Amino acid sequence: MKAFRNLIPPIAAAAMAVAWFPAASNAVTMSVTYYTIAENDQDASHLAIGNFTNEVKSTLGPDGLPVLNTAMYGCSSGCFTNTPFPADLTAGGEITWWSPSLNNGGSGHTSDVVQTGTGTITLPYSNPDFFPPNGTGPNDASGFQAAVFFTTLTVPSPESISFNVGADDTAFVYLDGVIVCQLGGAHGNTPGVCTSSSLTAGSHTLQLFYVDLDRTAASLTFSITTAGIGGGPPATPVPPPVVLTLAGLGCIALFFRYRGSHSPSRQV
């Protein structure tokens, strides 16, 4: 018993130290805000068919939304209707599929965009059926899914970052407000690989804008392929089994220490 009591202080200290500091990880988590776009929205099933890499301008607009690149983006290989361009725009050309307050729903209409929830995802992310509400529904019979993902990346050294992104239909990826990946237009699940310019070491904002505006399918995959990149907002850490075990030993050790200090003395 005396030998065990001599081990109480180091066991307790180790247990408490490990329990309070979760294991280091390079996992990247992203916050996400979900939106549902009405079935009768003026852009629903009205966009150009195909994968367009020039649909939006290189930087986000003043409201933090992608800006339509009307000088470049067009209907080069077939359209659903004679309206190939996104029409849900601000006066400055920002696309409002992700803004209930700025979306006008068309002439004489109120907003066709409704925010339906928020959450957190961990990369790599893959959802082959990204239907409303919040990417969990069975189909798009009651609306189209849109979402904005956001995180702050931690870049350990000056380097470029590579991404894998795939979407049905549209996905735009921005680093520090500058476009990195474009999968514009209405199309089936289309994979893409893109690489940023060289970034300085430190923190950088990452945003992903997603929307589905055509019936029958909706999907999104996204990952960072460059090693050593971390990022938050962090998810609530779940203690691994070793932490729980050491924490339990620490509690037992403290119990015996308390019991020994309050037991009546006896002579041997």
Q: For 84-102, how does the pLDDT look when each residue is reduced to its tens digit (9 = 90+)?
A: 678 899 999 999 999 999 9
Return d(Cα 220, Cα 39) in angstroms, integer. Answer: 20
The residue-averaged pLDDT of 243-254 equals: 47
Q: For 228-237, how does the pLDDT look when each residue is reduced to its tens digit (9 = 90+)?
A: 999 997 444 4
Give me the chain's average pLDDT, please: 81
Q: What is the CATH number of domain 29-232?
A: 2.60.120
Whether the link from the prior residue into 233 is cis, omega within 30° of 0, is yes
CA angle (219 as vertex; 231, 172 as ends), nearest 5: 55
Each domain of the chain, given as residue ranges in start order, spans 2-22+238-262, 29-232
Residue 148: what residue type? V
Strands (DSSP E) found in 60-201: 113-122, 125-127, 144-155, 162-168, 170-175, 178-183, 190-195
Give pLDDT, residue 27.
Answer: 87
Q: Is residue 2 predicted with pLDDT exceeding 80?
A: no
Return d(Cα 34, Cα 134) in angstroms, integer. Answer: 5
Identify whether the C-beta of residue 118 lies closer than 8 Å to the C-beta of residue 34.
yes
Identify whether the C-beta of residue 199 lies closer than 8 Å to the C-beta of residue 158.
yes
- The neighbour count for residue 263, using CB atoms within 10 Å, is 8
Name the least confident of 105-114, 115-124, 153-162, 166-175: 105-114
